[in-house]
Amino acid sequence: MEDVLIEVLEAIKPSEEERNFLMSLMDELKGVVNETASELGVEVRPYFVGSIAKDTYLAGDHDVDLFLAFPLDVPPERLREDGLKLARAVAEKLGNYEVAYAEHPYVRAVYRGISVDLVPCYDVKSWRDVRTAVDRSILHTEWVNRHVNGRNDEIRVLKRFLKGIGVYGSEVYIRGFSGYLAEILVITFGSFTDVLRRADEMIKYRVIDPENWLKKEPSLASSTVKRELDSDRPLIVIDPVDPRRNVSANLSWEKYGIFYLKSAEFIRHPSMEFFFPGKKKRGDYRTELRRRGTHILTLIFEVPGIVDDLLLPQVEKTAKSLEKALGREGFRVLGRNFGRNFIMLEIDRVEREAISIKEGPEFFSERAPDFYSKNKKVWIMGKRLYSEKAVNSSIVDVVDELLRKNRVSIGRSIREEVRASKILIDYVPRDLEGEAWSFLTRKKWSVKD
């Protein structure tokens, strides 16, 4: 185990040279911000946040987050306007840049080969001041730096482990562990291996509260716990800097499950493979389809201009609803997959019976005469009347009808796009071939193969 950890650290710990380079870069950037702010007459404090500021970044992985913090008495519109103006002015001096949009606009520049995000925010001192999602980052950075207590390398090892097993990143299309969550876990439990050893305990207790918010702010913190339990989150980590927030709100059961199983496996059989898995050879989805004797139905649609955080849950909801609707139509769905612009279902067949048998009422019941007169063909089995009707037998026709007749509940922002989907059977476009293969083989969610 020790040997493995030493070898990992050698690979991921930034060199002295790298550290010095970043230090000087940060000094320069700070200078440019202060200079530009006074040129524009804007009152602002620059903060570095993120893994560089916390010294928990992996070697070679150093995007810089530079936050431009405005006093709390600046109105939001002014912050938006002045913030963007200042960020642009700074970026002009650095070189190439573009404006990006989250809750508020920010600027992404590149300076000396490093990506630098210039993000306007409020200069908050406590969770009570937090107004926008980014405001909390300064508090996070401060909290980690105050508590890390020299365990920065343990955090680096944990981050690399999470990356290696494929569960790092809290983005909505990953739903894994955020960097901040990794930092909190090491700070709370002591070391990389301590975190791994707690995988079972954590899922059994469900709640982690490093700053004792449940004592200090019992009503706020317990309502956070209740809310998150109701949403069936695998883990509730009350944010050390904000009792209203679950740091692991985006973590999915699947990603926690992979972490859970891989942790146990690593403790039994430590190896570099967990941190640096070899690139797996990708197979052909058509071969897999033949092996499985199943079929793949793919809907491809245009992506509307909304952020992934809004888009993906709507695609997921649509995929689930389509799966249910197809089940009611007699197609068995063996698996479900989706992405920004597609839904894929693995199905048992592409043609169903051309008739559907309708179960009617008991022949002596009040509803029987109605059923009897409304149907052209009626027969009896046991006590019941039955009839049949002709139905579309091809799944393409069935999906088409389901969409047209609003029998699939489609997320609001993608309704028109999904209804105009291309419907593909046992074939996917080139750029989805890998996706189709990792879906059909279940490599996408694999913990053992």
Residue 57: CB minimum distance to a copy of itself, A? 29
Residue 59 touching a copy of itself (CB under 8 A): no
Helix (H) or strand (E) holding 114, with range, is strand 114-122
150 sits near a copy of itself (criterion: CB under 8 A): no
Q: For 390, how many CA atoms within 13 A lie in the half-sphere containing its CB? A: 1
Q: By CB under 8 A, is residue 446 in contact with a copy of itself?
A: yes
Q: Does 353 bind a copy of itself (CB under 8 A)?
A: yes
DSSP state of 392: -
Candidates 37, 87, 92, 46; CA nearest to 67 is 46
Among 146, 349, 404, 422, binds a copy of itself (CB under 8 A): 349
Q: Which is nearer to a copy of itself, 306 or 380 (CB)?
A: 380
Nearer to a copy of itself, 222 or 375 (CB): 375
Residue 355: CB minimum distance to a copy of itself, A: 5
Q: Does 419 bind a copy of itself (CB under 8 A)?
A: no
DSSP-derived pairing of the beta strands 114-122 and 64-70: parallel
Question: Least separation, in Å, of the C-beta of 364 and a copy of itself?
Answer: 5
Please say whether the beta carbons of 111 and 44 come within 8 A.
no
Task: Rule CB under 8 A: say whether 2 interacts with a copy of itself.
Answer: no
- b/e per residue, 152-178, with b = 16+ CB within 10 A? bbbbbbbbbbbbbbbbbbbebebbbbb
Number of amino acids touching a copy of itself (CB under 8 A): 49
Told to check if 230 binds a copy of itself by CB under 8 A, we report no
Question: Which member of 128, 215, 279, 377 binds a copy of itself (CB under 8 A)?
Answer: 377
Closer to a copy of itself at the Cβ: 36 or 248?
Answer: 248
| Residue with smaller CB distance to a copy of itself, 172 or 378 | 378
90 binds a copy of itself (CB under 8 A): no
Q: How far is the CB of 445 from a copy of itself (least distance, A)?
A: 4
Residue 284 has which token pair? 């052909």
28 vs 379, beta carbon nearer a copy of itself: 379
Q: In DSSP terms, which residues pair with 48 in a beta bridge?
A: 66
Closest CB to a copy of itself among residues 21, 363: 363
383 lies in the site for a copy of itself, by CB under 8 A: yes
Contact 93, 29 (CB under 8 A): no
| x-marked contacts with a copy of itself along 288-327 as a string, rule CB under 8 A | ---xxxx---------------------------------
374 belongs to the binding site for a copy of itself (CB under 8 A) = no
Tokens of 229: 């339990």
| DSSP annotation string for 213-280 | HHHHSHHHHHHHHHHHHHTT-S-EEEETTEEEEETTTT--HHHHHHHHHHHHHHHHS--GGGTSPPPP
Distance between first and last Cα of the chain: 23
Q: Which is nearer to a copy of itself, 276 or 372 (CB)?
A: 372
Q: Are 25 and 49 in contact (CB under 8 A)?
A: no
> Long-range CB contacts (< 8 A, 24+ apart) of 431-435?
432/298, 432/300, 432/342, 432/344, 433/284, 433/285, 434/282, 435/337, 435/339, 435/342, 435/344
Q: Which stretch binds a copy of itself (CB under 8 A): 84-92, 122-130, 242-250, 439-447?
A: 439-447
Alpha carbon 390 to chain centroid, angstroms: 43
CA diameter of the chain:
90
Residue 327: CB minimum distance to a copy of itself, A = 12
CB distance 184 to 210 below 8 Å: yes
Q: Does 204 bind a copy of itself (CB under 8 A)?
A: yes
330 binds a copy of itself (CB under 8 A): yes
Q: What does the CA dihedral 41, 45, 48, 49 come to, rounded to 10 degrees?
A: -120
Does the footprint of a copy of itself cover residue 366 (CB under 8 A)?
A: no
| Cα separation, 202 vs 196, whole angstroms | 10
Q: Which stretch binds a copy of itself (CB under 8 A): 69-77, 117-125, 151-159, 254-262?
A: 254-262
Indicate which single residue of 376, 405, 412, 430 sits in contact with a copy of itself (rule: CB under 8 A): 376
**Binding residues vs a copy of itself (CB under 8 A):** 200, 203-204, 234, 253-254, 257-258, 260-261, 291-294, 330, 332, 334-335, 348-349, 351-355, 357, 363-364, 372, 375-383, 385-386, 388, 393, 442, 444-449
